Amino acid sequence: MEYEGRQHPGVAHELPSTVAQARARVRELFESVPPERAGTEEGLTDILLVTSELATNAIRHGGGLTGFGVRLGADGLVLTIADASPLMPVALLREEGYTGPGGFGWPLICRLAKDVSITRLPGGGKSLEVLMPVR
């Protein structure tokens, strides 16, 4: 099973419009993994956290989701999220004792993922592809 959505006609699945919809698609794929490759609840939690962070950033800071895909690859679950912003994600430096919001998601994504790649898109924006272990 694979989900892919873009803002183009003829695509089988609509682009998620909310973070909850993105998580639901990832959960459905994760739960359909064959038993010999089945993941753990901890793996699912990590994947859903990364999905939430990427989708939230695309919606809040990236001009909205412009592409979404999730598939099971040879080494784990591959999540792709594209947005309209050409700006690359960054980890914000925080002074000791800072407790304000924001700036923690990107380091968390990089720590949980097996691999992360970012591609600038020809028409503008970027695509982030994250490989997550299922176990």
Return the HEC string of 39-93: CCHHHHHHHHHHHHHHHHHHHHHCCCEEEEEEEEECCEEEEEEEECCCCCCCCCC
The CA distance from 6 to 119, in Å, is: 16
Q: Is the CB of residue 105 less than 8 Å from the CB of residue 86?
A: no
Backbone angles phi, psi at 45, to 5 degrees: -60, -45
Q: Spell out the domains of the chain, with CATH numbers in brackets.
A: 2-88+103-132 (3.30.565.10)
Question: Which of 99, 93, 106, 112 lies closest to 45, judged by CA?
Answer: 112
pTM: 0.84
Question: Which of 78, 91, 66 lies closest to 131, judged by CA?
Answer: 78
Residue by residue, pLDDT tens for the chain (135 residues) are 344 544 433 334 689 999 999 999 999 998 888 777 778 888 899 999 999 999 999 999 899 999 999 999 989 999 999 999 999 987 766 667 666 666 678 889 999 999 999 999 998 999 999 999 887
